[in-house]
Structure 1
Amino acid sequence: MRLFESPAARRQTLLRTGVLALVVVGVGVAVTRYAPFVTDPEWVRATVDRAGPYAPLAFVALQATQVVLAPIPGQTLAVVGGYLFGPVGAVYSVLGVAIGSSVVLVLSRRYGRPFVQRVVTDGVLERFDTFVDDYGLLGLVVVFSLPTFPDDAICALAGLTSIRLRTILVVLVLARTPTFVLATLVGDGLAGAQYRLVVGILVGAAAVVVGVYLCRERLLAALPTA
Structure 2
Amino acid sequence: MGVAMAPAPPRLFASPRARRQVLLHLLLVGLLLVGAAVLLRRQIAFLTDAEAARAYVRGFGVWAPLALIVLQALQVVLAPVPGQVLAAVAGYLFGPWWGTLYNVVGIGIGSAAAFWLSRRFGRTYVERMVAEDALATFDGFVERRGLLSLFVLFLIPGLPDDAICFVGGLTPIRLRKLVVVAVVGRAPAFFLANVFGDLIATGDTEVAIGLLVLLTGLSALGYANRDRIARRLDGWRR
Shorter-chain TM range is 0.7 to 0.9
Structure 1 runs of 4+ aligned residues shifted over 6 Å read none
Q: Are 1:193 and 2:207 counterparts?
A: no
Partner of 1:224: 236
Cα deviations by residue, 1:181-202 (Å, 9 ceiling, x for unpaired): 0000111111122112212212
**Equivalent in the alignment of 1:78:** 87
Amino acid at match of 2:107: V
TM-score in terms of structure 2 length: 0.72
CA distance in 1, matches of 2:116, 2:176: 10
8 Å contact kept, 2:142–2:149: yes
Please list the CA deviations of residues 152-175 of structure 1 after superposition, one character each: whole Å capped at 9, or x if unmatched.
Answer: 111111110111111111111111
Between the aligned partners of 1:185 and 1:143, the Cα distance in structure 2 is 22
**Residue 19 of structure 1 corresponds to which residue in structure 2?**
none
The one-character-per-residue Cα deviations of 1:125-159 (angstroms, maximum 9, x if unpaired) are: 46645332343323311221112211111111111
Question: Who is 2:64 aligned against?
Answer: 55
| Alpha-carbon distance, 1:5 to partner | 5.1
Q: Which residue does the alignment assign to 2:75?
A: 66
Q: Residues of 2 paired with 1:155 and 1:92: CA distance?
A: 19
Deviation at 1:62, TM superposition (A): 0.6
1:141 and 1:171 in contact (8 A); partners too: yes
Q: Which amino acid aligns with 1:224?
A: W
Distance 1:149 1:218 in 2: 10
Match of 1:190, SS state, is helix
Deviation, 1:208, is 3.5
Matches within 5 A, 1:127-146: 128-146=138-156
Does 2:53 correspond to 1:44?
yes
Q: 1:100 aligns with which of 104, 107, 110?
A: 110
Match of 2:123 among 108, 113, 127: 113
For the residues of structure 1 that align with 2:225 and 2:163, how far apart are their CA atoms?
24
Displacement of 1:224 after TM fit?
Answer: 2.1
CA drift at 1:37: 4.4
For 1:118, what is the secondary structure of its paired residue? helix
Distance in 2 of aligned mates of 1:97 and 1:218: 23
> Partner of 1:20 in structure 2?
none
Structure 1 residue matching 2:55: 3-state secondary structure: helix
Give the alignment's TM-score, normalised by structure 1: 0.75
Distance 1:41 1:8 in 2: 40
| Structure 2 counterpart of 1:111, one-letter code | F
Distance in 2 (alpha carbons) for counterparts of 1:38 and 1:82: 13
User: Contact conserved, 2:158 with 2:221, CA < 8 A, in 1?
Assistant: no
Instruction: Choose 1 or 2 for highest CA Rg.
Output: 2
Secondary structure at the aligned position of 1:154 is classed as helix
Q: Cα deviations across residues 101-140 of structure 1 (Å, max 9, x unaligned)?
A: 1111122222211221233355754664533234332331
3-state SS in 2 of match to 1:130: helix
Contact 2:72 2:83 (8 Å CA) reproduced: yes
Aligned 1:206-221 pairs, distance under 5 A: 206-209=216-219, 217=228, 220-221=231-232
Say which of 169, 174, 178 aligns to 1:164: 174
Measured on the aligned residues, the alpha-carbon RMSD in Å equals 3.2
* AA partner of residue 203 (structure 1): V
Which secondary structure state, in structure 1, belongs to the residue aligned with residue 95 of structure 2? helix
Q: Taking structure 1 as reference, are residues 193 and 6 closer, same or farther at Cα in structure 2, changes over 3 Å only?
A: farther
Alignment of 1:171-182 (within 5 A): 171-182=181-192
5+ residue gaps, structure 2? 1-5, 12-41
Which SS does the other structure have where 2:81 is aligned?
Answer: coil
